[in-house]
Structures are given as structure tokens and as C-alpha cells.
């Protein structure tokens, strides 16, 4: 039985994937790199440590990577964070999970400052048991560091006692490397096939759809056959 749920945040609880892609695009442009927003969007879900090496040459990364990341982070907070909105029924989903006496952790590629604001936007500050962010790990998704950190902050349940919820293959890949199964959400804009290929055991449109189908989902006390 699952007794802990580990949630990704961007694209899973809040509608921010497109905004992150725009912020990265603007930051790259500021430093002279013309990278299509569509290409950037496929990498959202990774931390900057994994996203930039996919889009920049090694030399460009060494010369400007830190500056780009700093500029992008400040730009997102100033220009794009005010546009972020919660997906519907996130708090109700969390309350339903807690009613089942399951613990909840957040496992985000954002830094602590951003995560604090995103929790408020999603209205879940008081229904989360613990959280991990980019500030707590050495390597971001799809590496498993943030999920190992989440298990630790949950007082180390066995990986098969936890389940992750995310919107990208990077969530599923990172969780799988930590021994954790993943529920995929389509709210981040990716295709169901890409989430299935990454190993998601069930797919739902968004948090509201997961809540509506809670009793037949892998979150329920009795886990049914795959959906």
C-alpha cells in the first residue's frame, strides 16, 4: 500500500510550463542565443543544470551558463511568476490524500524561493508534510536526487511505499531510478505516449481528473489494475 505521495510542482500543480519556456527563451536571447521556444519547452521539467547542456555547446555553457541561469531566475520571478496560476482542485486532491492518512512531499526543480511562492499559488502550504527543491540536491531530474531527498524528508519510507505524480518523462525517469512508480498528468502539455514510454503506470488529464478518479487510481488504499 502507498503511504506517501511525492508531487512535482511546475506543470503538475501549477500552469507554468509555457511561462518557464518563455523565460528561458528570453534569457537565451539576451545573451545572444536564438533557441526556439518549442525546443526549450521539451526540456522543461529538468533543472537548469540539465536543460542548458542540451541546448548550448560546452564552450557556450562554460562561458555563459551561470550568467544565463541567474538572469533567467530573476526574470522569471519578476515578469512571469505573477502570471502563474494553480490548476483546478489541487488543494482538494491534497486534502483527499491526507484523509487517507498518506503523507505528501513536493519534489521540485525550482529553488526554495520560487517553491515557496508556488505553494501559495496552489494553496497547499498547510497540507504538505515536507518539500525538496533544487537547493537540496546536486543533480536535477531525470537524475533521482530530488526523489531520494523526498524519501529522506518523509523519514525514509521504502520506495515501493511511495508514488510520484508528475507531468514529464523526467519525473518518471527520476522516480524510477529511485525505485518509485509514477502517475503521469497531461497538464504540462506533453503527449500521453511520452509519459507511458517513460514508465508512468497511469495517466490523468490534470489534478482534477486524478481527484475525480481517486478511488480507482494508484493513490487509493487498494491499488487496482493499470488504467
Return the C-alpha cell found at 132.
525538496
How many folded domains does the chain comprise?
2
Residue 61 to residue 66: CA distance in whole angstroms:
8
Would you say residue 227 lies in a domain? Answer: no
Pairing between strand 103-107 and 130-132?
Answer: parallel
Q: What is the pLDDT of residues 174-204, one digit of tens each?
A: 999 999 999 999 999 999 999 999 999 999 9
Look at residues 111, 175, 157, 167 and name the one whose alpha carbon lies nearest to residue 137: 111
Return the C-alpha cell found at 90.
489541487
Give the pLDDT score at 67: 98
The answer to whether residues 79 and 136 belong to one domain is no
The answer to whether residues 131 and 46 belong to one domain is no
The answer to whether residues 60 and 113 belong to one domain is no
Q: How confident is the model at residue 109 (pLDDT cuts 50, 70, 90)?
A: confident
The answer to whether residues 89 and 201 belong to one domain is yes
Would you say residue 222 lies in a domain? Answer: no
Q: How confident is the model at residue 1 (pLDDT cuts 50, 70, 90)?
A: confident
Q: How confident is the model at residue 156 (pLDDT cuts 50, 70, 90)?
A: confident
Q: State which residues form the domain around 70.
A: 17-83
The answer to whether residues 96 and 67 belong to one domain is no
Would you say residue 108 lies in a domain? Answer: yes
Looking at residues 158-170, what average pLDDT do you find? 96
Give the pLDDT score at 157: 81
Q: Is the pLDDT of residue 145 over 50?
A: yes
Residue 125 to residue 38: CA distance in whole angstroms:
32
Q: Is the pLDDT of residue 81 over 90?
A: yes
- Kindly report the CATH number assigned to the domain that includes residue 196: 3.40.50.1000
The answer to whether residues 136 and 202 belong to one domain is yes
Domain final residue pick, 83, 117, 141: 83
The answer to whether residues 10 and 26 belong to one domain is no
Q: How confident is the model at residue 221 (pLDDT cuts 50, 70, 90)?
A: low
Domain final residue pick, 83, 115, 134: 83
The answer to whether residues 150 and 203 belong to one domain is yes
Residue 4 to residue 101: CA distance in whole angstroms:
9
Q: Is the pLDDT of residue 49 over 60?
A: yes
Give the pLDDT score at 227: 45
CA 32 to chain centre: 29
Domain final residue pick, 54, 83, 112: 83
Q: Is the pLDDT of residue 223 over 70?
A: no
Would you say residue 225 lies in a domain? Answer: no
The answer to whether residues 136 and 198 belong to one domain is yes
What is the average pLDDT score of the chain?
94
The answer to whether residues 70 and 92 belong to one domain is no
The answer to whether residues 64 and 102 belong to one domain is no
Give the pLDDT score at 225: 38
CA 64 to chain centre: 26
Would you say residue 44 lies in a domain? Answer: yes
Give the pLDDT score at 224: 41
Q: How confident is the model at residue 83 (pLDDT cuts 50, 70, 90)?
A: very high
The answer to whether residues 26 and 9 belong to one domain is no
Amino acid at each position: 500500500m502507498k503511504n506517501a505521495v511525492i508531487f512535482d510542482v511546475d506543470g503538475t500543480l501549477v500552469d507554468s510550463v509555457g511561462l518557464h519556456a518563455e523565460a528561458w527563451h528570453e534569457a537565451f536571447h539576451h545573451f545572444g542565443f536564438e533557441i526556439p521556444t518549442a525546443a526549450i519547452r521539451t526540456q522543461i521539467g529538468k533543472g537548469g543544470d540539465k536543460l542548458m547542456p542540451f541546448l548550448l555547446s560546452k564552450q557556450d555553457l562554460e562561458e555563459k551558463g551561470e550568467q544565463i541561469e541567474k538572469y533567467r531566475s530573476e526574470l522569471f520571478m519578476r515578469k512571469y511568476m505573477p502570471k502563474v496560476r494553480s490548476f483546478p482542485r489541487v488543494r482538494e486532491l491534497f486534502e483527499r490524500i491526507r484523509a487517507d492518512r498518506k503523507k505528501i512531499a513536493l519534489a521540485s526543480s525550482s529553488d526554495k524561493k520560487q517553491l515557496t511562492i508556488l505553494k501559495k499559488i496552489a494553496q497547499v502550504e498547510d497540507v504538505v508534510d515536507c518539500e525538496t527543491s533544487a537547493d537540496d540536491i546536486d543533480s536535477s531530474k531525470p537524475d533521482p536526487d530530488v526523489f531520494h531527498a523526498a524519501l529522506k524528508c518523509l523519514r525514509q519510507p521504502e520506495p515501493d511505499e511511495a508514488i510520484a505524480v508528475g507531468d514529464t518523462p523526467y519525473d518518471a525517469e527520476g522516480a524510477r531510478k529511485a525505485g518509485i512508480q509514477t502517475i503521469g498528468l497531461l497538464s504540462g502539455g506533453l503527449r500521453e505516449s511520452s509519459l507511458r514510454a517513460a514508465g508512468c503506470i497511469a495517466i490523468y488529464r490534470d489534478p482534477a481528473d486524478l481527484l475525480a478518479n481517486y478511488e480507482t487510481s494508484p493513490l487509493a488504499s487498494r491499488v487496482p489494475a493499470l488504467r
